[in-house]
Structure 1
């Protein structure tokens, strides 16, 4: 339920919640759902409920055991702001993150409206980065909800990128990750969509990270964009010191 990660923009994953449900086109070929099916077949007891939302109280304090600082993707197998996750549970997860400031926590949600509603009831230490998924123009409003959150780093995950995001408003956003869909039935991503986001980030001085082209065999398509690797991270020490 935790360990080193092969996800390019993080170092480890931590899953005090597992399971989710689909809310938009980006969820159609969910990698976490596919992985959960494999774990069920392997008899993993954490997945006795399959891909239904399941809370793992015993994992909330796991990061206290990690001696080495690391970047941690929170709930790679779920969504911390899913409607079936109680506020009290989310607050416990935040307590752990705030109590372990040597780690950097990266949270990603598609439920930006609930995130915005609950944000005032959470404590946002500078080591807690908050992001939303933006796969196409139909969910651009998630960025507006994210802007209301007092996280020191606010980021976007445009993965799977399913269409152009021309002139996307990234004001008060500090980091943008872009990636194509991988696995069976993966949908295509055009270079011009990616490059437009790259130029937008450059214009607005936002860190840009190109994760992958994706496809059925993503190791073959790689990470090169116009013959370059783009793996920028937000320079947190340069961000507005009044932003919590």
Structure 2
């Protein structure tokens, strides 16, 4: 589980536990629920138990951290370094000039929601946080449909005085009050309603990198209200809006408080609802 993945925006998946319950329209044809039903691994829903994965799975991040990773800026390929100390060649486009060391992106709990608020998940979440703190050479992608829970659940862990809570508090103090730099925090936004509901909650999280997963994209979404609030009267380079400042300066405001990455895609299911390509073009423009 997790060593390889077909999810294009991450390198691996790491599931500390499995199981969830539907919370919005994006969950109607949830791939994780379909997978669980097909293989009978875990039940879904509010009354079902969540299932902790095997100890070998919990040890995987430490193993992955010891694996050097490469990325090709020419074609986008990402993968393990195969020949240490040898000229790096992209196996996909055979480029050597644009292949360089990078950090692995680990999608945490692709078969559950890391910030689902259930009492039995508290100790598991603490253990997972300890692993993410220890493996600071990996980037952990924490995607949730419950961004309103993030600050409260993390504050509870800090207040508990556990080893993970103490280390998290120290890490945040060392990072100017923000979460560890290798924690990328994101939320799902499938339509305008959930953009208006979830994006403000995500922006309240003191993360160094925030992202949106707009898949499945079920309707047009206007992100301008949050862009205008973050950047009144300014245009910048390398920002969500894609506009350019005359002095070619990176967006200082957005870099501290904004949304840094947007994933857009349709639904993957035998019952997939159609996505209009113009909805994606509108977001990109």
Task: Find out whether 1:63 has 2:61 as its counterpart.
Answer: yes
Superimposed CA distance per residue, residues 118-172 of structure 1 (whole angstroms, 9 cap, x where no aligned partner): 2434633211101000001121221111112122110000010001112442541
1:57 deviation in Å? 6.7
Contact 1:119 1:149 in 2 (8 A): no
| Greater radius of gyration (CA) | 2
Q: CA RMSD in A?
A: 1.8
Alignment of 1:84-103 (within 5 A): 84=118, 86-103=121-138
Structure 2 Cα separation of the partners of residues 103 and 21 of structure 1:
28
What corresponds to 1:44 in structure 2? none
CA displacement at 1:4 relative to structure 2 = 1.0
Q: Please name the residue that 1:153 is paired with.
A: 209
| 2:110 alignment partner in structure 1 | 76
Contact 2:16 / 2:124 at 8 angstroms: preserved in 1?
A: no
Partner of 1:144: 200
**1:187 aligned partner:** 273
Mapped to 1, the partners of 2:201 and 2:123 lie a distance apart of 21
Contact 1:10 1:71 in 2 (8 A): yes
Measured after TM superposition, the shift of residue 183 of structure 1 is 1.3
Query: Residue 50 of structure 1: CA displacement?
Result: 3.0
Q: Of residues 112, 115, 132 in structure 1, which corresponds to 2:187?
A: 132
Change (3 A) 1:119 1:148: farther
Distance 1:57 1:89, change over 3 A: farther
SS in structure 1 of the partner of residue 3 of structure 2: strand
1:92 is displaced (CA, Å) by: 1.6
1:173 has 2:229 as partner: no
CA distance in 1, matches of 2:192, 2:107: 25
SS in 2 for 1:13: strand
Q: Unaligned regions of 5+ residues in structure 1, if any?
A: 41-46, 200-244
Identify unmatched segments of 5+ residues in structure 2. Answer: 70-103, 159-164, 169-178, 231-257
Q: Quote the residue 2:23 is aligned against.
A: 23
Secondary structure at the residue paired with 1:2? coil
TM-score between both structures, scaled by the size of structure 1: 0.73
Counterpart-to-counterpart distance in 1, 2:37 and 2:149: 27
- The number of aligned residues is 192
Q: Residue by residue, what CA displacement relative to the aligned partner does 1:93-129 show, whole Å, maximum 9, x if unpaired?
A: 1110110111111110001111132243463321110
Which residue of structure 1 lines up, in the alignment, with residue 153 of structure 2?
A: 118
Counterpart Cα distance in 1 of 2:34 and 2:25: 16
1:14-52 superposed Cα distances (whole Å, 9 cap, x missing partner): 001101110000000001111112222xxxxxx2x3334
Of residues 100, 107, 116 in structure 1, which corresponds to 2:142? 107
> What does 1:198-237 correspond to in 2, within 5 Å?
198-199=284-285
